[in-house]
Structure 1
């Protein structure tokens, strides 16, 4: 049953945004805007390039979660799924599929950064991808849990950004600083990785807490 839920979530992503290609198109458009307006005249600093990466990361997760929930609600799959599986399994399945899709987009996105920006190097690929994926899993946990809460309100599309954006700001600030510190320190700097793992556990636990509250209310 859990496998069927995973398959359904993957289909929803394809229906909502036209699949991985649409995510890449959106990312490339944003990259080209910054490249044509700034990079062609003056090379962006390494910190600015990473800040742009994190901004795109947040935007992609925000759109993907919102559209996935919208498609599921419009097709009537929300209540149909809840009649067969628990809310916790739905939360985990949706989070896993969205994170896997964004991980693939992150890998391609970092390669494109190397082509467009002078201060993006191929030898930092795995480190950049690691922090992108750690940030993505936190944003996915947060977005899905906030999205499930917004489904219980009347103004669903308005409530989701109001809930998600304030909680995302600490991750954006601390995640960017942790990644910058990671590259400044010699060797593999574990505290930076542990910090983002803490955010992932925190947002995942927060989502589980919200789900338990919804269960009791229902």
Structure 2
């Protein structure tokens, strides 16, 4: 049953954005805008490039989560699936599928950064992708969790961005600083990784709490 739910989530992503190609195209468009406007005249610092990377990752996750929830609401997939499995399984399946898709785009995005920006190197691909994946995991948990709350509101399309942006600010502030410390400290700096894992655990637990709240209200 869980595999059928995963398949349904992949189909929703394909219907909402035309697959991973659309996500990658959007990422490259934003990247090229900053490259043509700034990088061709003045080389961006490594910190600025990472900040741009986190901004694009937030944009991708925000669009993907929002469109996936919209497609499921229009098709009534969430309500229909609840008759066969629990809301927790649906929540985990949606988060897992969106996270896998964004990680694929993140890999292509980081490789593109190494081509366009001088301060981004291919040799750092593993570390850059690691923090992109951890940041995406937190953003996916946050977006889907807040989407569950937005579904109970009359202004569904407005509530999600109003809630997601302020809740994402701590992740940007601490996550970007954690990644910066990771590259400055000698060896593998576990504290930076554990900090982002804490954010993922916090937002994932928050989603479980929201599921219980909506279950009681219904």
Per the normalisation by structure 2, the TM-score is 0.99
Q: What is the aligned partner in structure 2 of residue 147 from structure 1? A: 147
Gaps in structure 2 of 5+ consecutive residues: none
Matches of 1:216 and 1:192, distance apart in 2: 37
Q: What is the aligned partner in structure 2 of residue 181 from structure 1? A: 181
Q: What is the aligned partner in structure 1 of residue 70 from structure 2? A: 70
Matches of 1:163 and 1:2, distance apart in 2: 29
Q: What is the aligned partner in structure 1 of residue 210 from structure 2? A: 210
Map 1:108-119 → 2, pairs under 5 A: 108-119=108-119
Matches of 2:205 and 2:72, distance apart in 1: 24
2:56 is the alignment partner of 1:46: no
CA deviations on 1:126-175 (whole Å, 9 max, x unpaired) are: 00000000000000000001011111111100011111111111001110
Matches of 1:74 and 1:204, distance apart in 2: 25
Matches of 1:188 and 1:13, distance apart in 2: 35
Count of aligned pairs between the two proteins: 218
Q: What is the aligned partner in structure 2 of residue 194 from structure 1? A: 194
Please list every run of at least 4 consecutive aligned residues from structure 1 whose deviation after the TM superposition is greater than 4 angstroms: none
CA deviations on 1:18-73 (whole Å, 9 max, x unpaired) are: 10000000000000000000000000000000000000000000000000000111
Moved more, 46-55 or 156-165: 156-165
Q: CA deviation at 1:81?
A: 1.4
Q: What is the aligned partner in structure 2 of residue 35 from structure 1? A: 35
2:100 is the alignment partner of 1:95: no
Calculate the aligned-residue CA RMSD, in Å: 0.7
Per the normalisation by structure 1, the TM-score is 0.99
Q: CA deviation at 1:205?
A: 0.6
Gaps in structure 1 of 5+ consecutive residues: none
2:138 is the alignment partner of 1:138: yes
Q: CA deviation at 1:78?
A: 2.2
CA deviations on 1:74-131 (whole Å, 9 max, x unpaired) are: 1221211122221111100000000000010011100000000000001100000000
Q: CA deviation at 1:190?
A: 0.6
